[in-house]
Structure formats: C-alpha cells, structure tokens
Amino acid sequence: MIRVLIMMLCLSALPAQGEEVVAGMNQNRIAITANFDGSEILIFGAVKREEPIPSADALGVIITVAGPSRPIAVRRKEKRLGIWVNVDSVEVDSAPSFYAIATSAPMPEVLADIEDLRHKISIPRAIRSVGAPMHVKDSASFTDALIRIRIKNKLYQLLEGQVELSEETLFNTSIALPSNLTEGDYKARILLTRSGRVVDIYETEIGVHKVGLERWIYALAHERPLVYGLFSLFIAIAAGWTASAIFRYFRA
C-alpha cells in the first residue's frame, strides 16, 4: 500500500505533457547508387493535445536532420615563397557530415539560447570542438571555416521559415539531401517550442546506404584492400589492352 502511494505521489509530481509530436516522413531509407544525384525528404506531422491551444505564446516547430558525426582536421594554408603550405591545424572533435535545420519562424523567435545550448540545435552548437593547440589563438575561426565550406557544398543548411505550420497543429517541410552524402544512419528530430522553450521532442532515424555494385565495391575497398587493389589493376590492364587491340584493328 505504501509503495502504491509513493508511486502516485511521484506521478503527480511530474509535469503534464500538454503537447506532443505525432510525425512521419515519406521515406526512411535512401539508397545510394551509381546515378544517385540527391534526394528529398518530406517530413510532416501534427501536434497532439489534450487541452485547448495555449493563447499566450505562439507555437514554434524546429526540424533537424543530422548525418553521422566524425572528427575532422581543419587546416589553414598560407602562401610562403610562392607555395601554399599548411601552417596551422585544429582537430574538431565531432562534426556531423550533414546537418539541416528547418524552422517555422526565424531562429531567435522559436528558440532561446539556453535551450540551444542544452539541446545543441544550431549549426555551431551541433559541432563539438573541445580544444586547440596552444599556438593557435583563433581556434573559433577554424570551426567557422568548416561551417562555411560545408554550407557552400550544401552539407549544412539553415532553412528559417521553411516549416509550414497550419493553425498551430499541422506542419510539414522538405529537406534536400545532396549527392555527396556520407553513408550511415541519419538522425531526424522534431522539436516543439513555446516562448523559445522546448516542450516536446520526437526522434527517428533515416538509413542512407550504398546498394548494388556500389555497395560491393565499397565493402571490398574497406574490408579487403589488397584484393581491391589487384582487382583495380586487372581492370586497368584489361581496359588498356582492349583499347590497344581496337586501335590496331582500325589501323589495319
């Protein structure tokens, strides 16, 4: 009896979940083939409520899609005696290979800075760079350079106002995936906010993998590099011999 009373008191102390995400997407697996030139994911959903829509603060929706995170070395080059050489290097501990953020309104309106720090939602916060060599005084510029390069290659995207929100209940957006995707499991998050505070989070995964001949070649190169090297050499010799035979035939 005492145990039941304790459980009831604990449950009553928990905050009520006023709004929850119910979401889906048009595909949760993406196949990378030889002619893969990118894809597009449609993410949609609704807000489940047991009470009327709060009238005080507008609802915000943030959707993120993140690729596998890996460490990466960022190097700075300078021209010395007419030759470009690496002069400094900073190891970024973890950076997503792909990262897209779509919001229903400008970021400052839907997300408070303290919530961004807590959930690591914005692009700079999604990158983890703990330290840098003592002689590098501007380590933050290396992270900025990484973000700038990946934005240029469409690997990092900030899509403010691209989430369509209807009557604070239905939402949808589309996120374009470029052709230069890294293979792996991509994490999608949908966050609901009120007054910049996150009130609910929904998470799911998207599988991005090579298939067919591309998958076989990739596995061969990484799991049996010697066999892959010999196979590549054989193909090169066979192609050269075939081209030479065709050339001799037409000359005759």
pLDDT per residue over 155-173, tens digit each? 999 999 999 999 889 999 9
CATH number, domain containing residue 99:
2.60.40.3880
Residue 229 located in a structural domain: yes
Residue 7 located in a structural domain: no
Q: List, for residues 83-132, the tens digit of each pLDDT value.
A: 777 677 788 888 999 999 999 999 999 999 999 999 999 999 999 876 66
Residue 176 located in a structural domain: yes
Residue 161 located in a structural domain: yes
Parent domain of 32: 15-209
Residue 2 located in a structural domain: no
Q: Are residues 74 and 182 both part of a single domain?
A: yes
Residue entry with tokens 């970021």: 107
Looking at mean pLDDT, say which of 20-34, 55-69, 126-140, 213-227 comes out highest. Answer: 55-69
Q: How would residue 175 be classed by pLDDT, with cut points 50, 70 and 90? A: very high
Average pLDDT, the chain: 81
Q: Which of 125, 72, 69 is nearest to 101 (CA)?
A: 125
Q: List, for residues 41-67, the tens digit of each pLDDT value.
A: 999 999 988 887 877 788 999 999 999
Q: Are residues 229 and 158 both part of a single domain?
A: no
Residue entry with tokens 């409520």: 49
Residue 56 located in a structural domain: yes
Q: Are residues 37 and 102 both part of a single domain?
A: yes
Give me the number of domains the chain comprises. 2
Burial of residue 202 (CB within 10 Å: 0-12, 13-18, 19+) is middle
Could you give the angle at the alpha carbon of 179 between the alpha carbons of 219 and 29, nearest 5°?
A: 65
Q: Are residues 181 and 232 both part of a single domain?
A: no
The answer to whether 192 and 165 have CB atoms below 8 angstroms apart is no
